[in-house]
Structure formats: C-alpha cells, structure tokens
Amino acid sequence: MKKLGIYIIAAASCLFSSCLDTELYTTIPVDDFFKTESDAQAYLNGVYGGFRDRSARCYIPAGEYAYQMLNEVAGANLIFGPGAQKGNQLMMEKAEWGVDFYVTSSLWMDLYMGISRTNIGIDNLRKQAPTPAIERFIAETRVIRAFFYADLVYLYGDVPFITTSHFDLMSKPGRTSKDEVIKFCIDEIKDAMDKLPDSYPAKDYGRFTKWGAKAKLCKIYLEAKMWKECAEIANEIITQSPHRLIADYSKLWGVENEKNAEFLFVIPSLPPRYQHSAYAAHFQPADFLNPDGTVIGWDYYRATWDFYDSFDPADKRRADLLTSYEAKVKGEIVVKEVGHGVGEGPIPNKFPMDPAHIDWTEGTDIVLLRLADIILARAEALNELNGPSQEAVDLINKIRERAFGNAEHNLKLADYPSKDALRAAILQERSWELFLEGYNRMDLIRHGVYIETMKKKGSTNVSTNHLLLPIPQSELNMNPNLTQNPY
C-alpha cells in the first residue's frame, strides 16, 4: 500500500447506470474534496468500486484472480476447462501452489487497495458535520472495510493491519494476528449495522443495508466457529428481515430476476466494459451457440463429473450443469455431448447469458450474500451447538423443498444420529446450493476435510501448508518485518 498523504485516489466506478453513478476521479487534493454530501457520496461510490472495478477486481467472478473463483476452482467441484489447461491453472486447481503462486499478488493488492479507499473515506467523512447522510456513509464504509479485511485474513492468515489513511509506508508493519483482525471486523459491523436502513430506493440498489451488514457478520461468525452468535444473528435475519427465499430456483439467477428478495448484498452489473459481469463467456465452450446466435465462449471452467453425479436426478439444481449443448460448427448447428477428457466436464450454466449482453460483457448481478446461505449457516451452527435437531433439519429442508419442488426428498432427523452425520449433510447441501458463489474452499477448510477432498480431486502434494496463500514475494522484499506463511 502507498502512503496517500494529502491526495485521494478514488477510482469511483459506476456500479449501475441508475445507482451509485459517479464520475471517474484520479487524484484530488483533500482540500478540494469532501466539502458537501454529494462529494462524500461520490467518494463512497468509489469505495464500493473496490468490489468490482478494473483496478480492484477481486469480486468479479471471471478470471482466477477473483476471490470467488479461487475459492471454487481450488475447491472440490470446479476445474479449469479446455480453454485454460496450463501449468499455472492446474497448480491452482489442485491447491498445490508454492511461494511464487501467480494469483497471490493480485488478490493481496486488490484487497489492500479496497481497504486503503475505506480508510481515506472514513478519516475524511469524520471531518464533516455529522448529518444523518454522513453518518450512514461512514457506517457503509466501515462495513465494507470489515468485509475486505475478513476476506483478506481468510486467504493469508495474519496480515498487516492498517485502519488510518495517515499511514507511513516506511514504518514497515508486521503481521497482526487473524483473531485480532476478525475481532475488529465483528466490532466494526456490530457498531455500524444499525445505522444503516432496512432497504434503499431503487436508485441506490447495491448499497449495504442493515440486513446485508448482518449477513456478512453472520458469515464471519460462521468462519470463526462462533456458533451461538452465528445462530442468533442468522435467526434474526431469517425471521425479522424483509428477505425471503424465491420460490423457483431456476428463476433466481437470470437478469430478469435481479433485485429479488433473496439477495442480501450484490454487485450490480451492466454492459459494456467496466460495469459488467462476464459469467457466460468464461463457462461456455468456444462453439457454444447462444439463443441470439452469438458464439463467444472461452471454455475457462467446467464442473467435475463427480459433482454432477452427486446430485439426485430429481434435483432442479443439477439442470445448471449441461451435459450437452447446441454448437455452431462450420455454419451448421449440431448438438454436442460433453466428454470426459482432460479439462472436460459438465458446463456450468447457473448464470444464463444476459439477452442484452454486448459481446462478452453482461448485466448479470454478482451475488455476494443471499438468504439461502444464511439459512444453512444457522442449521450448521445449531448442529455444532447441540447436535442434530428437528429445527436444523427443517432449515435444510427449506432449501431442499425448493430444489426438488416438493417435500418428498426432505431429510429425516432419525437418519442423522450424530453431529458428524448431520455436519456432512450440511456441507453437501452447501456444495449443491452455493456452487460458484465463492464458498466451497472455505467450507471444506472449516469442516476439516480440505486436504482429503483435494486428494480425491487428484492433488498429490496438497498439505496443511495450502490452507493459506503465500504472502507475495514483492511485499516480503519491501518489508523485512513481514514473514512468509509455511511452504
């Protein structure tokens, strides 16, 4: 991170054409900024840009530099497809990275860039008269900073911990313990969340509400194994928030259903470039024919056949994995079956092509927090606290009834006599329900089965050393007070 002194660097990217809309600022002296609420909101939009813009791209599920894709492809169920069968990618797919892991520096820099923006924003917003709007802007920024820091320690463990914009790079900070950083994140969100509204008007879609903040806090509790706190806040979200499960799972992911009641926090998207998502291009084979006649796929990712085979055939979620597709070959339209060769597997189609796509850019919103995840988090926390219970099973069955369209495939408490048995069922349900949403690797680590799972996937060198990413070598070269993770 750079010492930003008297300048604000605010890559204030637009998140949606009708909301969070800003100009793109470069370097602006502090004395010329933060003078009005509109100035403050313009900067806050740039803080939100830390989730998605070109200089801080870590939450745009596309290339492997995205936080979500690392947690999926270095998990159980996703592999690199025929369009990405290279040495570096295969190392990542099997979680066998070393100190020179090529994704490490990108995620580190992107997350710290986002944190730097929040520190600048908080320090300068606190200098303004405390109007209700300014107080809300500060609360939003504190939640975002906690979001970034929590995800940073999930990747790297102990990290340099900086909460001020008046940071001197020459101080060469060492690593602060993960537990201390997580405690900070919890305290920040708890203090900020009730200063946020229950909802926003449509023009402000994509900002953190009180319930979005509580959902991130729930997820932090889950990863920290703070089961009582996780169960309580999950119950509050489930029973008191305006959020509910969408009845038809198949209609959850298309652009026609954005702004739905299940989503707690999203990154709004819109083509063309710099405001877009790019799901379909990464998942579709190079000859995949879209309904509008276009062929744009890069064939970057595939699901594993083992994952496909784990689904009950009656589970509607399996339909998101294509085993055949229409292709355009030499001008002819043919149906092609998916093979079993190197890099081949079912084609993820959870996020269908945006009909209004422009080339490979789409307007499909990127979902970071949704209610189904929170429901399963409460089920897990209840099981860890007290063992199998009817309430925990009922929570899982809320998800399963939607997935199957009836109650015929519901779990029965009598079939899960032990905590271990229900824990395994919850982990499996999470893998089916939350595929491609960026949680699989973390779920496996939390459940203590990551190493054995990656060995089943084909890894021969994975070890406990791969539970964290290496600290970027460039950071170690500049800062002798940093130490490397074990490798």
- Return per-residue pLDDT of the chain as tens, 487 residues: 333 333 333 333 322 223 344 333 444 555 567 888 998 999 999 899 888 755 445 687 666 778 899 999 999 999 999 989 887 888 899 999 988 888 888 899 889 999 999 999 999 999 999 999 999 999 999 999 999 999 999 999 999 999 999 877 678 999 999 999 999 999 999 999 999 999 999 889 999 999 999 999 999 999 999 999 999 999 999 999 999 999 999 889 988 888 999 999 999 988 877 778 888 999 999 999 999 999 999 999 999 999 999 999 999 999 999 999 999 888 899 999 999 999 999 999 999 999 999 999 899 999 999 999 999 999 999 999 999 999 999 999 999 999 999 999 999 999 999 999 999 999 999 999 999 999 999 999 999 999 999 999 999 999 999 999 999 999 999 999 999 998 7
Q: Which of 364, 380, 404 is the last residue of a domain?
A: 364
Give residue 102's pLDDT: 84
Whether residue 239 is contained in a domain is answered as no
Structure tokens at 2: 């750079």
Q: How many Cβ atoms sit within 10 Å of the Cβ of residue 17?
A: 11
Query: Do the Cβ atoms of 388 and 421 come closer than 8 Å?
Result: yes
Answer yes or no: do 135 and 37 share one domain.
Answer: yes
pLDDT for 23 equals 36
State both tokens at 196: 């946020």
- Please report whether residue 61 resides in a domain: yes
Which residue segment(s) compose the domain that 118 sits in?
Answer: 7-74+96-208+469-478
Q: Is the domain of 198 the same as that of 106?
A: yes
Residues 54 and 141 in one domain: yes
Kindly report the three-state secondary structure assignment for every residue of 371-424.
Answer: HHHHHHHHHHHHHHHHCCCHHHHHHHHHHHHHHHCCCCCCCCHHHCCCHHHHHH
Domains in the chain, number: 2
Cα atoms in the Cβ-side hemisphere of radius 13 Å centred on 308: 18
